[in-house]
């Protein structure tokens, strides 16, 4: 936005940390949007293969749950449940960032005036990560001309000093259409097409 409109932007948005207006009619409307997104993602095989992989690799754990949810969980959503969970999940973990022509003093004043965050110190909850992963083989048939394959093994945690080497190896082997694995399978070892056989 233009720098001169920053105060207005804060006013229109309600300010960072302001409690949202959770209305039942808005929730019902958004549920329809999310259900369409789930349907669209299920028709995208490159997305679906990772969802299936995560659901089985971290079976019965939160990491294996679909990000969009399922049709059942979306349909069960209600405004009352959002009102109960949103205050403790958003207001105490809010980051506000700005860059450009602005006064730092004014910026802090707007943030402070707009925020409704509680002043009580928050208790950080430890996230229970799974102690082990599950090796499994899963396949879903779809009427497509391609096969999407996802392979995964347990590796170093995100803060490990070897994480960059693992990321490099992942990119080299299977991280996209330019990876050596993809190029080798598709170009060097591809089955002959109908036109090439003729």
Report pLDDT for 116: 45
Band (pLDDT 50/70/90 cuts) for residue 7 is: confident
Task: Please name each of the domains of the chain with its CATH number.
Answer: 1-121 (3.30.830.10), 155-198 (no CATH)
| Tokens matching residue 97 | 């960032």
Q: Is 57 exposed, middle or buried (0-12, 13-18, 19+ CB in 10 A)?
A: buried
- Name the maximum alpha-carbon separation found in the chain: 75
DSSP 178: T
Average pLDDT, the chain: 77
More confident position, 86 or 181: 181
| Tokens matching residue 45 | 């095989």
pLDDT tens across 100-120, in order?
898 888 877 777 655 544 344
For residues 146-164, give the mean pLDDT.
86
For residues 15 and 51, give the distance between their C-alpha atoms in angstroms, rounded to a whole number.
35
Q: Is 58 exposed, middle or buried (0-12, 13-18, 19+ CB in 10 A)?
A: middle
Q: In this model, does residue 92 exceed pLDDT 60? A: no
- 38 with 71: CB under 8 angstroms? yes
For residues 147-162, give the mean pLDDT.
85
Report pLDDT for 165: 92
Residue carrying structure tokens 């598709």: 186
- With H, G, I as helix, E, B as strand and everything else as coil, classify residue 64: helix
| Tokens matching residue 180 | 């050596």
- 181 with 173: CB under 8 angstroms? yes
Q: Got the DSSP string for 26-86?
A: HHHHHHHHHHHHHHHHHT-HHHHHHHHHHHHHTTTSGGGS-TT--HHHHHH--HHHHHHHH
Report pLDDT for 121: 41
Q: Closest Cα to residue 89, out of 130, 54, 64, 124?
A: 124
Residue carrying structure tokens 């949007």: 33
pLDDT tens across 23-70, in order?
888 888 889 999 999 999 888 888 889 899 999 998 888 888 898 889
> End-to-end distance of the chain based on CA atoms, in angstroms?
59
């Amino acid at each position: 936005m233009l720098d001169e409109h920053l105060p207005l932007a804060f006013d229109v948005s309600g300010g960072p940390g302001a409690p949202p207006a959770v209305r039942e009619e808005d929730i019902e409307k958004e549920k329809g949007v999310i259900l369409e997104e789930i349907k669209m993602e299920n028709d995208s095989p490159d997305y679906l293969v990772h969802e299936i992989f995560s659901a089985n690799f971290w079976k019965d754990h939160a990491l294996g749950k679909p990000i969009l949810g399922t049709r059942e969980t979306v349909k069960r959503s209600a405004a009352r449940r959002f009102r109960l969970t949103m205050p403790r999940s958003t207001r105490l973990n809010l980051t506000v960032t700005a860059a450009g022509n602005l006064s730092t003093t004014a910026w802090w004043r707007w943030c402070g005036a707009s925020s409704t965050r509680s002043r009580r110190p928050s208790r950080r909850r430890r996230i229970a990560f799974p102690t082990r992963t599950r090796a499994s083989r899963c396949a879903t048939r779809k009427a497509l001309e391609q096969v999407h394959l996802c392979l995964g093994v347990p590796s170093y945690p995100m803060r490990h000093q070897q994480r960059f080497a693992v990321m490099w190896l992942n990119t080299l082997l299977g991280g996209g259409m330019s990876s050596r694995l993809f190029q080798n399978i598709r170009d060097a070892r591809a089955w002959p097409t109908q036109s090439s056989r003729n």
